[in-house]
């Protein structure tokens, strides 16, 4: 069964600290892996997208890693800011069907950054 | 704004009402999607339109009826909903070509409450 599991479910950190969010997946075949940030009551916004051959990708203070052998990904946030408080969703793109990629969503990690 | 606009942002409706959600994309994409996001659950894909043809209907109850009059507009018609249908409804669009999809972009969502 195609699944995406994220941990932790929620996390509280102090402003300025770093944190790492985890994503394990069992989606096969694999096309790409995406990390999204979703503010409360808003739509998800793409942070990074990585294909099978990419091990790491950065977007400002966000750095995503991918180990396609172990089917694990992480999202590292450096020097956290209050505006980083949001849900972070790991999404794995699976088989191409009907001309589009089927996305498998994780349940997300809820991050709260406190002053 | 992401280039995908959803209206209304908030909607409260009774179980006997009929209402419609609207989505418009300004990105020149050729595929559009409806998702449902319930509290603490992963996003659930409801419908996919590729080149204005419905290519996926994920066992969604008939009280939800999608309409895609052209590649830029997508509607979700609602009637006789149940309280458990209360959720954030997200629209997304992407460009499908060469066996993959690109530029996957979400709208800000419509927060639906059924009373």
Which of the residue ranges A37-51, A89-103, B82-96 would you say has the lowest mean pLDDT?
A89-103
B48 and A103 within 8 Å at the Cβ level: the answer is no
Give me the residue label for tokens 């794995």.
A92
pLDDT for A52 equals: 84
| pLDDT tens, position by position, A12-22 | 999 999 999 99
Q: Is the Cβ of B83 closer than 8 Å to some Cβ of chain A?
A: no
Smallest CA–CA separation between B49 and chain A, in Å? 10
B90 and A99 within 8 Å at the Cβ level: the answer is no
pLDDT for B54 equals: 76
Q: How far apart are CA B85 and CA B72, in angstroms?
A: 26
The dihedral through the CA atoms of A98, B31, A94, B85 has a sign that is negative
B99 and A96 within 8 Å at the Cβ level: the answer is yes
Residues near A57 by Cβ (< 8 Å), separated by ≥ 6?
Answer: A48, A49, A50, A63, A64
| pLDDT tens, position by position, A100-109 | 677 899 999 9
Of the candidates B41, B45, B90, the beta carbon closest to that of A43 is on B90
Q: How far apart are CA A80 and CA A63, in angstroms?
A: 12
Q: Is the pLDDT of residue B56 over 90?
A: no
pLDDT for A99 equals: 63
Cβ-Cβ contacts under 8 Å, B56 against chain A = 97-98
Res. A96 pLDDT band, cuts 50 70 90: low
| pLDDT tens, position by position, B19-39 | 999 999 999 999 999 999 998
| pLDDT tens, position by position, B69-113 | 999 999 999 999 999 999 999 999 998 876 666 778 999 999 999
Smallest CA–CA separation between B55 and chain A, in Å? 6
Residues near A80 by Cβ (< 8 Å), separated by ≥ 6?
Answer: A13, A14, A15, A16, A17, A18, A19, A61, A113
């Amino acid at each position: 069964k195609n699944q995406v599991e994220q941990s932790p479910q929620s996390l509280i950190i102090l402003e300025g600290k770093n944190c790492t969010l985890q994503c394990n997946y069992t989606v096969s075949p694999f096309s790409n892996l995406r990390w999204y940030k979703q503010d409360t009551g808003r739509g998800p916004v793409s942070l990074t997208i990585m294909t099978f051959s990419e091990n790491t990708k950065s977007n400002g203070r966000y750095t995503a890693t991918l180990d396609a052998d172990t089917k694990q990904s992480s999202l590292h946030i450096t020097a956290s800011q209050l505006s980083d408080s949001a849900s972070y969703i790991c999404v794995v793109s699976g088989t191409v069907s009907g001309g589009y990629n089927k996305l498998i969503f994780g349940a997300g990690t809820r991050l709260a950054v406190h002053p | 704004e992401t280039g995908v606009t959803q209206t209304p942002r908030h909607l409260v409706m009774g179980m006997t009402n009929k209402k419609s959600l609207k989505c418009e994309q300004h990105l020149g994409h050729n595929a559009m999607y409806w998702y449902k996001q319930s509290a603490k659950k992963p996003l659930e894909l409801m419908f996919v339109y590729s080149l204005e043809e419905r290519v996926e209907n994920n066992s969604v109850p008939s009280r939800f009826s999608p309409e895609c009059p052209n590649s830029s507009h997508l509607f979700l018609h609602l009637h006789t909903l149940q309280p458990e249908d209360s959720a954030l409804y997200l629209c997304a669009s992407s460009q499908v070509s060469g066996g993959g999809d690109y530029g996957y972009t979400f709208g800000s969502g419509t927060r639906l409450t059924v009373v």
